[in-house]
Amino acid sequence: MSGAAHLGKPYEERITEIIDTLYNEGMYEPALVLFCQLSKDFPNCAEPLMFAGLSAGEGGDKDKGLSLLAMAASCDDVTHDVYFNMSAYYIQTGDMDSARTALYNCLKMKPLFGRAWMALADLDKVRASDPLIGRMQRALKRKLKEDDEYHLRFGLAKAYNDIEQYDRAWYQYKKANALNLSIYPADANLSPGDYAKHYTEVGSTAASTPIDVAVEMTSSPIFIVGFPRSGTTLVEQILGCHSQVEGRGELPFISQFADLFELQGDQEKSWLESLGEVEPETFRLMAEKYLEFANPNNSPFFVDKLPNNYKYIPLIRRMFPDAKILRVIRDPMDTILSCYQQCFTSGQEWSFDLVNAANAFQTYERTMNAIPDSEYDEINYEVLVRQPSNSIPQIAELAGLSFEPAMLKPENSDQAVKTASAAQARQEISSGSVGRWKNYDGAELRMVLSILDATIPHNEWIYDHMHAESINPY
């Protein structure tokens, strides 16, 4: 017995928790090092093998990651959680067959695990003949925990949507979101953050005016911003297919830098109000640290796709005066519906209620209207999915890249997708989601349309919807 193994199960569990934490913080090398020590003390343990596999894969060694995951699945102590986490990795890397196998193995061990049912429904378009629908219906009749029930309802709603049974889909979406709202109240996080008044008070031009921070640029960040579910993942996947670009997913660093201003400065001032008081050297140091954290592989170009970074455009401009910032815009009604149909949890509580979601979108629009158009370039989602062969070369140009044919097939990308759109990103570009809100044209969505018309009347999509003969929002 090794010097640590005599400590038994508590030791193993504690070290596994540390490995889990390191993995979730993106510290893949330390996670692997710690796993190597643990594997000597406790060989053939499924959970640490799983986290080691995930860490190896996230760290760039996909083959080692897959090998370790296979070892985890063969352990005697494998659990449903191990299989579920394995499926998430397979989905991120585009291996849908392995993901499906892992999810069914998960359900064999825990038949009422709602997250697994939802993930199965999300893997691909469900057909009317798919036995998955009947299995989910039967599972829903069982006594379920709240967490399992709302995930299962989201999965069943998605399946009904796929087979165009929209009334049944809407019923399940409403039930699922009502459960979500009871578990995660939205009062404390009604909107993504009302920054519009700060831009107005401080002066948007002054706040956004870049300064020369003299950063030695070894790579170029490309920021993709927008409202959640507006198409930002698709644009990241397109850019990630370029030979010089690495998609880094939704990185937290810009918002963390903004938080530092409020922690260290005048507590009564927002980070935005403090920008003018910060020395250029501070922005230079922040930019250098950001590049160190955000681009560990030193790729020539990399994509930071955190939609809510739209709030921090003035800070991004101070750190990187020449950075490419791409804003993705989409029909507000489709965007809000897509948020409502997505099983968000912490951080997006406004999405559980359509009125709250409409208010959140208003806040986003007001903020973007307060930022000069010259600070970013726009990509229209509808134009992109309808005319990809024309739009994608233009997107490449906006990002400062030369066009490469591989960008036309983002579904073939071998880069991991770590967002809520992971499964959808593995499908061919399609315009099938354009105008989807009209499939659910009921009182709730007409109310959302009225709210948006009253508060953002210059939005061309809302104007067109309000004046369409087939729509009667009142």
- CB neighbours (10 Å) of residue 99? 25
Residues forming a β-bridge with 247: 303
Using N-to-C axis directions, what is the helix angle for 46-58 and 9-24, rounded to 10°?
Answer: 20
Is 2 exposed, middle or buried, given 0-12, 13-18 or 19+ CB atoms closer than 10 A? exposed
Q: Which residues contact 319 (CB under 8 A, 6 or more apart)?
A: 213, 215, 257, 283, 286, 287, 290
pLDDT digits (tens, 9 = 90+) for 266-320: 566 777 777 777 888 888 899 999 998 898 888 999 999 999 999 999 999 999 9
Is 167 exposed, middle or buried, given 0-12, 13-18 or 19+ CB atoms closer than 10 A? exposed
Q: Is 400 helix (H, G, I), strand (E, B) or coil?
A: coil
DSSP 188-199: GGSSS---HHHH
Which stretches within 209-312 are classed as H helix? 232-240, 253-264, 271-274, 280-294
Q: pTM of this prediction? A: 0.84
d(CA 132, CA 310) in angstroms, rounded, equals 39
pLDDT > 90: percent of the chain: 45
Q: Letter for the amino acid at 83?
A: Y
pLDDT at 336: 95
Q: Which of 419, 471, 432 is nearest to 449 (CA)?
A: 471
d(CA 212, CA 72) in angstroms, rounded, equals 51
Please, are residues 28 and 62 in contact by the beta-carbon 8 Å criterion?
no
pLDDT at 310: 93
In the 8-state DSSP scheme, what is residue 127? P
pLDDT digits (tens, 9 = 90+) for 441-462: 778 888 898 888 887 766 777 7
d(CA 106, CA 33) in angstroms, rounded, equals 28
Q: Which residues of the chain have pLDDT under 70?
A: 1-16, 19-20, 22-29, 31-32, 35-43, 59-60, 186-217, 262-268, 345-346, 416-426, 457-458, 467-474
Q: How far is CA 335 from the centre of its chain?
A: 14
pLDDT at 16: 66
pLDDT at 101: 95
d(CA 253, CA 355) in angstroms, rounded, equals 30
Q: Which of 382, 416, 371 is nearest to 200 (CA)?
A: 371
